[in-house]
Amino acid sequence: MSILQQVEEKLQRNERLTRQDALELFATRDVIGLGRLAGQVKRARWGDKVHFVINRQINPSNICVLSCKFCDFATKRGRANAYEMTIEEIVGHCNAELREVHIVAGLHPDWPWAHYLDMFRAIKQAYPQIQIKAWTAVEIDYFAKKFRKSVEQVLKELMAVGLAALPGGGAEVFSERVRKALFPFKLGAPRWLEVHKIAHQIGLRTNATLLYGHMETHEERVDHMLKLRALQEETGGFMSFIPLAYQTGKTQVVKRQASAIEDLKTIAIARLLLDNFPHIKAYWVTMGEEIASVALQFGADDIDGTIGEERIMHAADAGSPVALTRDRLVALIQESGSTPVERDALYDTIKVYDDRTCCENSVSQ
Ligand code: V47
């Protein structure tokens, strides 16, 4: 019996997939069959709904105390590409349409704690409707150490001024082998997972990413997902899993970005293996619009959002646009045969676009 038939039978019996199943799925040549299975699981949960958000990504500074070998974004003060946004500039990037701002930066060497609190206060004061999804576990851990607070205290102080959720970045891949080679000074898997666990325990929901398509193996990708599945089993606090395809940029850990087949297999296997994650996100910034829209038939139920101005992947020469309009996202989702659902940062529904005329008129603008 083929691995796809075995997995199909397991799904019918409501049986959980194992590490071995996931590895065999990565080895399958029947990519369409894999997509069909993952699509079925996605539809059983979400029907033909696909989520998106009107959001804006803000990266307040690229100055970072770390120098990870895969990252083209981070730099040091004094270098020509270094920048720091003022709080006024950050608020200037927000507007009344936005439901979410996604804020991540470098580990800044000397911004005081009050600056982080004032930044959120200023955003919420100007635009109370915006939900702030900000600071990866790496940043939260850095704040705790730098400002001599517990992780819980850091999170609670940020929540008090408007933090709504933690983004999933900084996880990279939970492999000590890869960490030592590419990001030896960044926190490892146990601490990343601990920060998210603490967040979940105090009622803060979070996302999780996987950086793939560099030097990691399929085994390491699967082990990463299994660690997330185990924590989710304990806490239930994760909303979304986001595989991030490594953009080669100038760091060139490998010469070429992962193929479309690898992107689609990773999305589909995530949907099948991460059976306790509600959302699997096809991040159009790293996958490109075309593959992201195909991924919506391969198990993804979310395509992130309008984004506004992305700097991390574009510092690494991502070929995708820096922003998409609401109409373009709605059209992409409809072209994939799905119904667009506009959501907020916490996946509460704002609007369902069940009028098909948008798609018929949009062919491809
Ligand atoms: O942690 C850095 C990654 C992450 C590159 O939670 C790169 O909804 C690809 O956290 N190629 C930050 N990836 C981005 C992030 C994120 C993105 C989208 C959605 C969500 C969410 C979170 O970007 C970092 C790192 O893993 N990264 N450099 C690169 N060259």
Give the CATH number, domain containing residue 220: 3.20.20.70
Answer yes or no: is the C-beta of 305 below 6 A from any ligand 1 atom: no
Question: What order do you get walking across the sheet with 131-134 strand by strand?
Answer: 55-58, 100-103, 131-134, 163-166, 205-212, 238-245, 279-280
- For position 356, what pLDDT does the model report? 64
Is the Cβ atom of 249 under 6 angstroms away from ligand 1? Answer: yes
* Residue 332 backbone dihedrals phi, psi, to 5 degrees: -60, -45
Q: Ligand 1 pocket, 239 CB below 6 A?
A: no
Residues of the chain with pLDDT under 70: 356-365
Q: What is the CA radius of gyration of the chain?
A: 20
**What pLDDT sits at residue 355?**
79
Q: What is the pTM of this model?
A: 0.96
In tens, the pLDDT along 10-40 reads 999 999 999 999 999 999 999 999 999 999 9
Task: Tell me the residue range of the domain where 149 lies.
Answer: 3-364
Q: How far is the CA of 26 from the centre of ligand 1 (A)?
A: 23
CA–centroid distance, residue 169 to ligand 1 (Å) = 5
Q: What pLDDT, on a 0 to 100 scale, did the predictor assign at position 357?
A: 53
Q: Is the CB of 142 under 6 A from ligand 1?
A: no
- Name all contacts of 231-235 with Cβ < 8 Å and 24+ positions apart: 231/193, 231/196, 231/197, 232/274, 232/276, 232/277, 233/276, 234/197, 235/196, 235/197, 235/200, 235/201
* Domains contained in the chain, number: 1
- Between the CA of 126 and the centroid of ligand 1 the distance, in Å, is 27
The answer, yes or no, to whether any atom of ligand 1 lies below 6 A from the CB of 209, is yes
What is the β-pairing status of strands 339-343 and 349-352? Answer: antiparallel
CA distances to 278, 299, 323 from 274, rounded to whole Å, are 9, 11, 29
